[in-house]
Amino acid sequence: MQAQSKFTDRRDLDYENPGYIPIAIRQPKRNPLRLVWLAIRSRLIALRRLYYVKVWRMDIHPSAWFSLRVEFDRTHPSGIHIGAESYVAFGAVLLTHDMTRGIYADTRVGTRCFIGAHSILMPGVTVGDGSIVGAGSVVTRDVASGTIVAGNPARVVKQGIKTYRFGCLWDWETLSKSGVPRDP
């Protein structure tokens, strides 16, 4: 019989099995330096959010988070809208203008969404509540709520998903109560 791996693949979820360990436990170890960095980082992000909202008039919900390496279009900054408990990962670009077509449009991210690393949201698109944009995707059309899109141009990968805080498919709050550390 094949030995069972300590970490089960998410596709083989088996909550009935008492030996089941969720994939979330595979998070990197928390050494003191990393904890210090995370604390500094969260304050830097809060300051950056304040700067975007107060100086650039972007509409970023106080509970939304983003990497320090995102690009929010500052040509039409008031066109940026990010909903509660959403997360924009590093390298993502949210566009609100297109010089070639003379477009200035509002780009919206709903609540509890995840915008993957190095993805691009084209001007005027809306990502519906509880949706995920895959890494490296170029989103050219609106994304319905509860949908995963990926690729260039972004296509629907899954529908009817449920997301938790920061667009995670995992409920980190519950997992941390059961001893699994939470990130970010």
Ligand X SMILES: CC(C)(COP(=O)(O)OP(=O)(O)OC[C@H]1O[C@@H](n2cnc3c(N)ncnc32)[C@H](O)[C@@H]1OP(=O)(O)O)[C@@H](O)C(=O)NCCC(=O)NCCS
Residues that bind ligand X (CB under 6 A): 89, 116-117, 132, 134-137, 148, 150-151, 157-158
DSSP annotation of 26: G
Nearer to ligand X, 96 or 137 (CB): 137
Nearer to ligand X, 61 or 118 (CB): 118
DSSP annotation of 166: G
- Minimum Å gap between C-beta 76 and ligand X is 25
Helices (H), 32-105: 32-54
Are 156 and 132 spatial neighbours (Cβ–Cβ below 8 Å)? no
Query: DSSP 3-state assignment of 82?
Result: strand
Supply angle C-alpha 132, 145, 103, rounded to 5: 80
DSSP annotation of 169: S
Q: Which residues are registered as beta bridge partners of 104?
A: 97
- Minimum Å gap between C-beta 60 and ligand X is 18
- Minimum Å gap between C-beta 75 and ligand X is 25
Nearer to ligand X, 126 or 137 (CB): 137
Nearer to ligand X, 41 or 76 (CB): 41
- Whether the bond into 22 is cis, omega within 30 of 0: no
- Minimum Å gap between C-beta 68 and ligand X is 13
- Minimum Å gap between C-beta 78 and ligand X is 26
Nearer to ligand X, 78 or 152 (CB): 152
Q: Which residues contact 154 (CB under 8 A, 6 or more apart)?
A: 119, 133, 134, 137, 138, 139, 140, 141, 143
Kindly state the tokens that stand for 53.
């909202």
